Amino acid sequence: MVQKKSTFVVFSSLFIIMLGFGIIIPVLPFYSQSLGATSLHLGLLMASYSVMQFIFAPVWGALSDRWGRKPVLLVGIGGFAVSFFIFSLANALWVLFAARIMGGLLSSAAMPTVMAVISDTTTESERAKGMGMIGTAMGMGMIFGPAVGGVLSRFGVHVPFQAAAGMAFLTVIYAAFFMTETLDRSREQTERRRASIVGALKGPLAFLMVMAFTISFANANLESTFAYFSKDQFGFGIPEIGLAFTVMGVFAVLLQGFLVGRLVNYFGEQKVIVFGLALTMVSLLLIVAAQGLVSLIAYLTLSGIGMGLVRPGITSMISKKTLAAQGETMGVMSSFDSLGRIAGPVYGGQVYLFNHTYPYLSGALILAAILVTALMIFNKKY
């Protein structure tokens, strides 16, 4: 009962955080442009947040193994709230960067802690389903967030950021009162926490971490340029972009909430990951060939489904195979994920300046390379 209560608090917290992210997706490009940002600036703005996550997620993950999951999660949610509030008050581009850097440093505590809680409270047979539920919470944020952001932006481009900050502050209060600690401080877990994550990465975790980076890179490459692509190719604005991400979020929730766990239990993580990579690769190629709003939404949704299959599969495998502590391991995975979010927006923003289709064509090529590598490695005993 205690574990279920803590898991519910974690899902609720993650949903609020992702709702905040979803709210700003259709607004951020236009908000930053109003302060003089270009597509490259937008890429750097998104990357600055991820740089901090890349550096500090392993630190916070390790601290959650020592201090407990609850205090570290509260730091993550609180940092998110403060950074978004400062972001909403920005009157210059440098303030946006300062807020994102601070937000990345503090909110990087949330994701590895959430994944560690799932590892604490699930058996190996339930692990993929649990990780899929994380994707469900994130997907629900994507469903409601962009639509809410589009509506709130009518009252001022800064309003969506303030709304996200307010919801995060409420979540901190909620978690502080209702979340219970899930960290097992037994001797067995204490011995496990002494294992070196550096040593663990020399084994089968290494390629899985690379895959986590790759799918994150592809996703960030897409997200950072999609608003510009939609506007430049079709003349779409915030309402259409918000609708596209909302539809994608609906399918992602249905997939990860009801199917991922069953698919992994039936086919195994490896086959689910391979299929997800192939689907994501094809969807990037199809986005380039889109003829209008309906086809663009359909192809974006395919990419969301593909990534929704890959992420829980990778996370589940990493959680099962690690010899180190769950918090530290998930922190390192979050670091690889953040590295993809550093490289993806910068790369996408830069190549977009040369041709609007280059981010998607080259992203598909990168996914094809990792897919072929995965097929070769998974065919061996892994």
Fill in the DSSP letter of residue 292: S
Digit-coded pLDDT (tens) for 225-275: 888 888 888 888 877 887 887 788 788 778 877 788 888 888 888 999 999
Reduced 3-state DSSP string for 16-33? HHHHHHHHHCCCHHHHHH
Output the pLDDT for position 278. 96
Q: Which residues contact 334 (CB under 8 A, 6 or more apart)?
A: 53, 57, 58, 61, 108, 111, 112, 115
| Whether residue 358 has pLDDT greater than 70 | yes
**Number of structural domains, the chain?**
1
Output the pLDDT for position 145. 77
CB of 103 closer than 8 Å to CB of 72? no
CB of 113 closer than 8 Å to CB of 72? yes
Output the pLDDT for position 202. 64
Digit-coded pLDDT (tens) for 154-210: 888 788 888 888 888 888 888 888 888 888 766 445 545 555 566 556 667 889 999
Rounded to 5, what percent of the chain is helix, strand, coil? 85, 0, 15
pTM: 0.78
CB of 89 closer than 8 Å to CB of 158? yes
Digit-coded pLDDT (tens) for 30-56: 777 777 777 778 777 777 877 888 899
Q: Looking at residues 58-82, what average pLDDT do you find?
A: 90
Digit-coded pLDDT (tens) for 140-151: 776 777 778 778
> Highest-confidence range of 217-226, 275-284, 346-355, by mean pLDDT?
275-284
CB of 93 closer than 8 Å to CB of 35? yes
CA proximity to 145, closest of 258, 238, 44, 7? 238
Place of tokens 């959680």: 319
Tell how far CA 298 is from the center of its chain: 21
Digit-coded pLDDT (tens) for 336-345: 988 887 888 8
CA proximity to 73, closest of 166, 141, 6? 6
CB of 81 closer than 8 Å to CB of 33? no
Output the pLDDT for position 66. 86
d(CA 306, CA 272): 9
The b-or-e profile of 191-213 (16+ CB within 10 A means b, else e) is ebbeeebeebbeeebebbbebbb
Helix ranges restricted to H, 35-123 = 39-67, 69-88, 93-107, 110-121
Task: Give the burial class of 235: count Cβ atoms within 10 A of its Cβ; 0-12 exposed, 13-18 middle, 19 or more buried.
Answer: exposed
User: What confidence tier does 131 reach under pLDDT thresholds 50, 70, 90?
Assistant: confident
Digit-coded pLDDT (tens) for 261-309: 888 888 888 999 999 999 999 999 999 999 989 999 999 999 989 988 9
Q: For the domain that residue 196 is a member of, what is the CATH number?
A: 1.20.1250.20
Range of the domain at 133: 2-378
Output the pLDDT for position 187. 46
d(CA 129, CA 279): 20
Mean pLDDT, the chain, rounded, equals: 83
